[in-house]
Amino acid sequence: MRKIFRNGLLMFVAGTFAVSCADYNETYNFKADPDPQYVEPYNDLKAVKSYIDRETYPNLTLGATLKVSEFNKQDLAHAAAVTNFDNVAFGTSLMSGTIVNAKGVMNFLDMIDLLAHVEEIGYEVYGSPIFANANQADDWLKTLTAPIEIPVEYVEGKSVDFNEMPVGSYDAALIEKGKAAIVKYDNQNALEIGLTSNVRILAGFDVDPLAKYTATFYARSDKDATFDVNFSGNKITGTGPNGKWTFKKDKWTKIVVEAQSAEGVTEGFLRIDNALAGKIYIQKAQIGYYPDNHRPQTEQELKDTIRYAINAWCDGLMKINEGRIESFDLIDEPINAKAVLDNGMYDLKHASDKIYWQDVLGSENYAPVVSNVASSAFAKYDGELSDLKFFISESGLDDQKKFESLMYWIGIWDNNGAKIDGINAKLNLVYSEDAATQEANKAALDKLLDNLASSGKLVRLSNFDIKYQDASGQSVAAEKITDEQRQKLANYYGDIIKSYMAKIDKTKQAGLCKGNMADTSDPVGLWSVDSKTKDWVRTATYKAFCDAFDSK
């Protein structure tokens, strides 16, 4: 017998009539739909969040993670969330990388919809990271921090007049293929380029890879000419068929080529790759260029630019928010466990190929800057500062050194004026059938909770999913897990909830957030998913949550 979430239907399951319960679904003045249905063995269980003793644990909340699109559909996942959980988090969905395009246009349409609904039903949202290294508006930051255009003057480059060269052979080093020579043509000396010959008509100069070059030469042929032009390894497209260069026969024609060198090429040359139409004669050639008309932003300009981006993003976000989301991850996963400072602590993450806030504002100062800007924007748009909470989210905090490093940086940021209220510890949990491995798993989790308790900060646990491994270390899929295995997994969930409630001071409990409400390919859910009907079916984990919160 199972409790099933089904889209608004009353049904018989294994001979038992399933009935709905209005109280179960009430959130403020909103009734979740689809309406949950009840059958054995869990028909006596209420919504999970209702088991939390709010008097004993006034700050403890239970959250769920959803995609914005799932929540806004107000379908099955939405009903499960608002019915059983105190709040929802939306992962990367509300981060700048999703909302801000390369031109700085911010699309908050999904956020507007969800916040309107949240306000209507009296529900709560935990805010996505405001600042991070991943899932940021990298294209926008790249645009903002691009080099600045400056005026430049044209620079005359190398030139050659073949009429001044004696009749005879041409420099063999400049003939890459075929034949070329200085000949008498049209009452003057000219460079003759043979059929299917590749010949450099300008060479021996260095190129600036960012400069824009203009090459000019005068050419003539006894037949309509077709050829290719190559500038320093870069084939330049002409206006003729298939990108070829062409000119009409029997008159001198001025050819102008606009070009840049191929990437990584520093040797300057202009090469004519002749075709089969006829010999080409070159009278004279010259080249000049406009130097790169950009300069990097100065250190101060870059700081001003990034401060502008911080202000624009926070202002846009908090204007839409209107004080409705009161808890946010301020900074997401700042620690680099592969880089060690002289004092033995891990460094922050840094980058050379993209903009990281800390690389511009400084590792010690960027958290105070972003927290102050975000706080001011929150207050500007009707937010109550006394209700605002900022967390630093980080994964892998079961690593003692990583935890100590995070606390080292939080200490610096606190001293420099940052508002940091809590730590959002991202979990990566496994239950193992191997006794020794499972004891190590428990010990690591206990150590993590002890460390978090010692921080003096609010403590939130997110991505609260547990994968199941057999004794050999192989993952057990949701479709394969047995009832006995599911019960062991459920028991471990319950143990962790009770450990959190016992180890973390009641005034510092900021709650737990489920990574997935229902099973994925792993049996991580409070519900399994029926393979045929796609209904959500309560599991032993659902009961374990209820029992853990109800324990006295």
Query: What is the full DSSP assignment across 220-268?
Result: E-SS-EEEEEEETTEEEP-SSGGG-EEE-TTS-EEEEEEE-PPTT--EE
- The β-bridge partners of 217 are 255, 285
Best CA proximity match to 283, nearest among 231, 198, 221: 221
pLDDT score at 27: 58
In terms of DSSP H, where are the helices of 435-480? Answer: 435-454
CB 535 within 8 A of CB 4: yes
10: confidence class by pLDDT, cuts 50, 70, 90: very low
- Report d(CA 6, CA 524) in Å as an integer: 20
Q: Tokens 């270390």 — which residue?
A: 473
The Cα 116–Cα 324 span in angstroms is 9
Cα gap 334→538, rounded to integer Å:
37
- First-to-last alpha carbon distance for the chain, in angstroms, is 28
Determine phi and psi for 113, rounding to 5 degrees: -65, -50
pLDDT at 505: 97
- Rounded-to-integer distance, Cα 188 and Cα 163, Å: 6
Distance of alpha carbon 182 from alpha carbon 189, whole angstroms: 6
**What percent of the chain shows pLDDT beyond 70?**
92
pLDDT-based confidence at residue 29 (cuts at 50, 70, 90)? low
Cα R_g (the chain), whole angstroms? 34
Does 18 score more than 50 pLDDT? no
pLDDT band at 20 (very low <50, low <70, confident <90, very high): very low
pLDDT tens, position by position, 78-119? 999 999 999 999 999 999 999 999 999 999 999 999 999 999
Report whether 73 contacts 49 (CB < 8 A).
no
In this prediction, residues 530-547 reach a mean pLDDT of: 91
pLDDT for 7: 43
Burial degree of 415 (CB within 10 A; 0-12, 13-18, 19+): exposed
d(CA 137, CA 313): 10
The per-residue pLDDT for range 361-419, each reduced to its tens digit, is 999 999 999 999 999 999 999 999 999 999 999 999 999 999 999 999 999 999 999 99
Beta strands in 300-457 (DSSP E): 327-332, 335-340, 346-348, 389-395, 422-426, 429-432
Q: State yes or no: pLDDT of 447 exceeds 60.
A: yes
Please give the Cα distance from 84 to 127 (Å, whole number). 19
Cβ neighbours, 10 Å, residue 482:
9
Longest dimension (CA), the chain: 109
Q: Tokens 């989301």, residue?
A: 325
| Tokens 């041409």 -> residue | 170
- Asked whether the beta carbons of 65 and 516 are under 8 A apart, the reply is yes
pLDDT at position 245 over 70? yes
Q: Which of 13-22, 122-131, 255-264 has the lowest mean pLDDT?
A: 13-22
| Polymer length of the chain | 552
Distance CA(449)–CA(468), nearest Å, equals: 21
Cα separation, 450 vs 88, in Å, equals 26
In this predicted structure, what is the pLDDT of residue 495?
98
The stretch 201-213 carries a mean pLDDT of: 93
Per-residue confidence at 15, pLDDT binned at 50, 70, 90?
A: very low
Q: How far apart are CA 95 and CA 132, in angstroms?
A: 9
Position 3 pLDDT exceeds 60: no
9 has pLDDT over 70: no
What are the pLDDT digits (tens) for 122-165? 999 999 999 999 999 999 999 999 999 999 999 999 999 999 99
Give the pairing type, strands 188-193 and 87-89: unpaired
pLDDT at residue number 22 = 36
Lowest mean pLDDT among 165-174, 211-220, 275-284: 275-284
Tokens 């450099």, residue located: 200
pLDDT at 26 over 70: no
| pLDDT above 80 for 482 | yes
Give the E-state strand segments of 343-409 in sequence order: 346-348, 389-395
Backbone phi, psi, residue 24, to 5°: -55, -35
**Amino acid, single-letter form, for residue 429:** L
530: confidence class by pLDDT, cuts 50, 70, 90: confident
**What 3-state class would DSSP assign to 301?**
helix
Structure tokens at 373: 């800007």
**Using 50, 70 and 90 to split pLDDT, how confident is the model at 552?**
low
Examine the pLDDT at 6 and tell me if it is beyond 90.
no
